[in-house]
Each structure stands twice: as structure tokens, then as C-alpha cells.
Amino acid sequence: MLFNIAICDDNSVDLKFISDILSRWAKKREHTVRVDCFASAEAFLFRYAEDKTFDILLLDIEMGKLSGLDLARRIRVENSSVQIIFITGYSEYIADGYDVEALNYLMKPVSEEKLFSVLDRAVQKTLLNEKCLNVMLSGEMERVPLHRIRYFDVHQNYVTIHSDKILTVKHTLGGFEKYLDDRFFRVGRGMIVNIGYITRVTKTDIYLSDGTVLPLPRGAYEELNRAIIDRT
């Protein structure tokens, strides 16, 4: 598996230092990696607008106008799976790292042994999320990671997959359902929702972490709540 990794640091010496450690880690672990280096959060966001395939982010915190924390918050709005590692010289930001579900917080100068260990954990978590749904669109196959799918809904003979992109295909909901795992719950005849994105359930609605509100069919409340409890 190819791991796409980004390093974002406005200090060119630190940027090269981390990049060199990454190269040694990838060689020792026999991983295939693509490493992209960015001198500012803005530069990374410019790339990210076109390429959202990054698996691991190593972010400095103190950077120009847009800090690493600000960058992480923006990424987390739409991406709950990318592994974020903060590398910085300022310990006072550690608590803020929890807000963006950072995997770890490393102090400069970074220990190679410690970074190796954290990268190993990041890979393990990435591999847990690698299962994909294969979708045919205009004669081409698109692989959609299951962990990025928020929900499916159906209209007539078409199913819409709500993920990083919105994909609508001529298919049946049941046809997709057999490829899903227990993080997905069938809500009535017309919808499947990823339990991991649910933040609240009422008798009439399902609230997702991105702000989406989905209608909950009558009689589905108890069963959905049980499925959420079983997954926690």
C-alpha cells in the first residue's frame, strides 16, 4: 500500500530533518511512501484542494498567519481519518491537539526512535481504514474508502454515496449493503448510515458530524440506538 505523507513546517532545516527521518523509516519498514513538503499551511491547503489522498500529516504549530492547529481544524471539518502528528517546540499547545484528534504531539528536536514509533501507529490506524467500495462511473472504477462514507440514500433506481465526493450511480441499496461492515446501519428502505458519523439521534432525525440532518423512519429509533451502543 502507498502511504501519502505531508510535512508542513516553515523552518527549512526542520523540514529536511523530518523528511530524512521519514525516508529512513520507510526504507527500514519497507513501506512505499510519497512525501510532500510544504513551507506553510497555506501552501498545503492549496494542494489539498486538489488532492485529498494524504494519509498522514506531520505539522509544525507555529507557522506564519495560519498555524498548524488552524490547519488541522480545517482538515478535520471534512476528514476524520487522516492521521495528524504535531511536531513543535512549544509544549503549551498539547491540550489543543486533543481537539483535532491528533495521534501524537512530538517536541523538537524530534527523536528518530520516537517518530518511528508514532509513524508505525499511524500506519496501523490507516490500514484499519483502508477497505474500499468499488463504484463504476462512466466505465471507470472509483475506489471509495468505507470510513469516508457518511451515508447512502436512494431515489428510484439510483443510489447516492455521500463521501468526500457525492457519487450517484444506477444501483440498488442492497447491492452495496453486502459489501459494508458493521459500522453501517440500514435505516428503512431508502438509506444506510455510517454510525461513526452520528452525533445525535432523536425520535425523528439523525444528526451527523458534518451538520447533515437525516429523517429517521418511524420505528427505527430503538434499533439504531442499540446498534450505536454495540459499536461503542
The correct answer on CATH 2.40.50.1020 for the domain covering 143-231 is yes
Task: Check if CATH label 3.40.630.40 holds for domain 2-128.
Answer: no
CATH topology match: 2-128 vs 143-231: no
Is 0.85 surpassed by the pTM of this model? no
Query: Looking at the chain, how many residues does it have?
Result: 232
Residue 187 and residue 152: Cα distance in Å, rounded?
10
- Residue boundaries of the structural domains of the chain: 2-128, 143-231
pLDDT tens digits in sequence order for the chain, 232 residues long: 678 899 999 999 999 999 999 999 999 999 989 899 999 999 999 999 888 878 999 999 989 889 999 999 999 887 878 999 999 877 665 556 567 888 898 998 999 999 999 999 999 888 777 678 888 888 888 888 887 899 999 999 999 999 988 999 999 999 999 889 888 999 988 999 998 888 899 999 999 988 999 999 888 899 998 888 876 5
Closest CA to 1 of 57, 64, 55, 67: 55
Residues ≥6 apart with Cβ < 8 Å to 146: 129, 131, 132, 133, 180, 181, 183, 184, 194
Number of other residues whose CB lies within 10 A of the CB of residue 181: 9
CA–CA distance, 6 with 58 (Å, rounded to integer): 6
